[in-house]
Structure 1
Amino acid sequence: MSDISQKAAIGQAIQERNDLLAEKHEREIECRGERSQAVQDILDDFAQWEQRLQRSMTQARTCPTQDQVSLTETLDEISAQMPVGEKLLAQNQGALPKYEVKRLQNSLRERAFEFTALQDDLQPKQKFGFKGRKSKKTDKDLSLSTVVPPPVHGPAQNADKIASAHNGYTLANQSDVTLRIVGSEIQDQDVLFQDLVRCRITLTGNPSTVHMTNLVDCTILAGPVSTSAFIDNSRDCRFVLACQQLRTHSTTHSHFYIHVTSKAIIEDCSDLKFAPYALKYPGMAEDFERTGLDWSVNNWNRVDDFNWLASDQASPHWSVLAEPQDFSIDGLKN
């Protein structure tokens, strides 16, 4: 083992020990009844959100299957409730003990999978795709409302579950597409981009969340997202995003221009470069105001690498972009 590897291993071991000691101390404080009222209020709010979500899921399970209108309304209500817990954690995780953050993160994942299974059982989606069209589509605007999910393929983790659970707008299995999405099409909706190659996507307005899976050599220019953006199994891409929290998994050789009020989280990633948000378009200020994102707070260079725990050394998996560029709504500005 090289000296650098030994130092990294020692640093990681020290960090893990410190984390365990801190968690033990936090639990001792809790056992003594010394948990702060602020922390307790956050946990109570999260518990209330889970209770409301579980009641809605129970209502969906007891809804007569022949009453598709009521069932769809209930599932849409659950879909709208899902980002609330995520937003609550993103806004308050800095005030919570680490073990509570992990517990709430696990709870969010469990609720998401539970909702996925619920939709699969009660309202499985028929899969569609483009037929009789050439894959080459350039300099042409497409309406996202006409694009519905095709069969899912690719190695991304949970991609099939994400697609089957998706109630919002989807673009999938496309190459060489230039797409502009206006705010009215995705307002407060969940947006999914999946299995795209050499595509350029521009979206303005306020989507609730944006999921991007299996993207290759794509450029995504996005106005402010109300909660979080998720990227999985992508490479050689340019992401221009504004959101509360950014989570990136299994992604390589990509540039990020971001405005993040919480933090960016990466896992199983390499050669990622970060720069401040660099998109300009008419009406952007109004979009930011509607989401409630604080324009004055941007933690673009606070990247939390789950695969690098050495506190005394910078992660080798990401760096600051040396020569960032500006983007406009019509493309890259020279």
Structure 2
Amino acid sequence: MEPEEGPESKQPGLPAGVLDPVAQKKHAAMLDRLANLHQSRLEQSAARSAAAAASPAFESVSAFLDRFAESRRSVEAELQRCRALAADLASAPRLKPELEKVATSIADLDRLVAENSYFLPSYEVRSSLKAISVLKEALETASAELLPRKKFSFRNKTSKKDPGFLVKQIEETSKAATEKPDLPAVRDSPGFRNKEGSVFIKQFTVSEEGEGDFTLSDLNACEIYLKGRLRSLFIHRLTNCKVFAGPVLGSVLIEEVKDCLFVLASHQIRIHHARATDFYLRLRSRPIIEDCNGVRFAPYRLSYEGLEEELRDCGLGEETGNWAHVDDFKWLRAVQSPNWNVIPEEELMDTINASDIKEQIL
């Protein structure tokens, strides 16, 4: 009995070593199966990599909460030390500086929340701000008890490494207290302050970006153009002003503005005590408002030479639509807050082209 011929057997007319058509078809099918199996493995590997890449977001939130809890415990321990100092007459002269250190620690904690709120869930932001409010009340109570002759103030001198923070640092807890706490001064950062009816145009260079904190404070009827990248922007007490700014790598913090127009691009923005003001924004996170009324929002409308590249470099190259999803921390109902609206299309301003505007201060 002759052995059966294998797939490589010759057929009449075919050269030696050449597969017949049936064998070629089977061979091709086998290669297809191997290729599909390899592709499937690649897709599974990519899925696992994507899952691994997504996990740091949760880990980042966890890391933030751990750091926040540790800092909060540190502030509480500092307050306990202050009370211990008050009981020791020999240590009494050190009490006021120690309380000021506590105030600085609380301000740092507040800033930590602001700088990271762009990726935190809204619930965690609200919980963190509530915890900070409790610490501020505890400090105010301790100050009133331990320094009764002179009301404690947050007017501590800030260092150059700490540009300060534009939210209110403490709220009065005593019914008899009538003095409003001052906002922390951002005196050590460059900026425009205490002007009326002026035009400011500032071009930020690459060398300035490392120092990139900038402040606009106590301005009335002014027009401000900030071209180039900034690290953070602090704005407080502006009336009837227009502010046009390039990308901000971190946060924009706004306090006490009225009848103003802002065109801003940043990773996150917090707005406190704004009245009758329009915001044209591009953001990586939702804008946060508190104690605001009559504020309106629309997409970013600014252009100048090099702006698109700056936006891309800062992770702001794409329009996210976050400008239309405002979180009002003082409005907890399911329906939209009445304190803000989207600017109607027929009322939108034209894009401002600042390409030909040169640096000047008038």
Query: Per the shorter chain, which TM-score range?
Result: 0.5 to 0.7
Supply the distance in 1 between the matched residues of 2:325 and 2:302 (Cα, whole angstroms).
Answer: 20
How far is 1:302 from its partner? 0.5
State the match for 1:16 in structure 2: none
Output the CA distance in 1 between the equivalents of 2:113 and 2:273. 24
Residue number among 348, 352, 360 corresponding to 1:324 in the alignment: 348
- Which residue identity lines up with residue 317 of structure 1 in the other structure? N
Task: Using the TM superposition, give the Cα deviation of residue 118 of structure 1 relative to its aligned residue in structure 2, in angstroms.
Answer: 10
Q: Does the CA-based 8 Å contact 2:276-2:294 persist in structure 1?
A: yes
Deviation at 1:90, TM superposition (A): 1.5
Which residues of 2 match residues 56-75 of structure 1 at below 5 A? none
Query: How far 1:106 moved relative to its partner?
Result: 5.5
Which stretches in structure 2 are left out of the alignment for 5+ residues? 1-54, 75-106, 140-152, 161-178, 358-362
In the superposition, relative to structure 1, how do residues 183 and 41 fare at CA in structure 2: closer, same or farther (>3 Å)? closer
* Aligned residue number for residue 121 of structure 2: 93
- Classify the secondary structure of the residue corresponding to 1:42: helix
Give the distance between the partners of 1:122 and 1:310, measured in 2 at CA.
38
2:197 to 172, 176, 190: 176
- Contact 1:264/1:300 (<8 A) preserved: yes
Q: d(CA) in 1 for partners of 2:287 and 2:338?
A: 15
Q: C-alpha offsets along residues 126-174 of structure 1, whole Å, 9 cap, x if unaligned?
A: xxxxxxxxxxxxxxxxxxxxxxxxxxxxxx976x5432x4432121110
Q: 1:178 offset after TM fit, Å?
A: 0.7
If the length of structure 1 is used for normalisation, what is the TM-score?
0.58
Residue 23 (structure 2) aligns with: none
Change (3 A) 1:83 1:161: closer
Query: Which residue does 1:256 correspond to in 2?
Result: 279
Aligned CA distance change for structure 1 residues 208 and 320 (closer, same or farther; 3 Å): same
The CA deviation string for residues 232-260 of structure 1, in whole angstroms up to 9 with x for no partner, is 11111110001122211111111111111
- Match of 1:285, SS state, is helix
Are positions 1:282 and 2:318 aligned together?
no
The residue matched to 1:225 in structure 2 has which SS? strand
> Does the Cα contact within 8 Å between 2:117 and 2:268 map onto a contact in 1?
no
Deviation at 1:177, TM superposition (A): 1.1
Distance in 2 of aligned mates of 1:228 and 1:107: 21
* Local SS of the residue matching 2:257: coil
How far 1:194 sits from its partner (Å)?
0.8
Please, which of 191, 195, 198 is the counterpart of residue 221 of structure 2?
198
Distance 2:135 2:209 in 1: 23
Over aligned residue pairs, what C-alpha RMSD do you find?
3.9
Which residue is equivalent to 1:120? 156
1:249/1:119 CA distance change after superposition, 3 Å: closer
What secondary structure sits across from 1:120 in the alignment? coil
The residue number in structure 1 matching 2:170 is: none
Rounded to whole Å, the distance in 1 between the matches of 2:67 and 2:325 is 30
Larger Rg: 2
**How many angstroms apart in 2 are the aligned matches of 1:229 and 1:321?**
21
1:227 is paired with a residue of what secondary structure? strand
The answer to whether the 8 Å contact 2:282/2:316 transfers is no
Contact 1:252–1:269 under 8 Å retained in 2: yes
Distance 1:89 1:292 in 2: 16
Q: Is the alpha carbon distance of 1:174 and 1:186 closer, same or farther for their aligned partners in structure 2, counting shifts above 3 Å?
A: farther
> Does the alignment pair 1:43 with 2:62?
yes
Check 1:92–1:222 CA distance in 2 against 1; reply closer, same or farther (3 A cut). Answer: same
Q: Does the Cα contact within 8 Å between 1:206 and 1:290 map onto a contact in 2?
A: no
Unaligned runs of 5+ in 1: 1-35, 55-78, 125-155
Q: How does 1:1-334 map to 2 (within 5 A)?
A: 39-45=58-64, 47=66, 86-93=114-121, 98=123, 100-105=124-129, 120=156, 160-163=182-185, 165-184=186-205, 187-188=209-210, 189-312=212-335, 314-322=336-344, 323-325=347-349, 326-329=351-354
Deviation at residue 216 of structure 1 after TM alignment? 0.8
Q: Amino acid of the residue matched to residue 348 of structure 2?
A: P
Cα pair distance change 1:108/1:210, threshold 3 Å = farther
Q: d(CA) in 2 for partners of 1:290 and 1:191?
A: 19
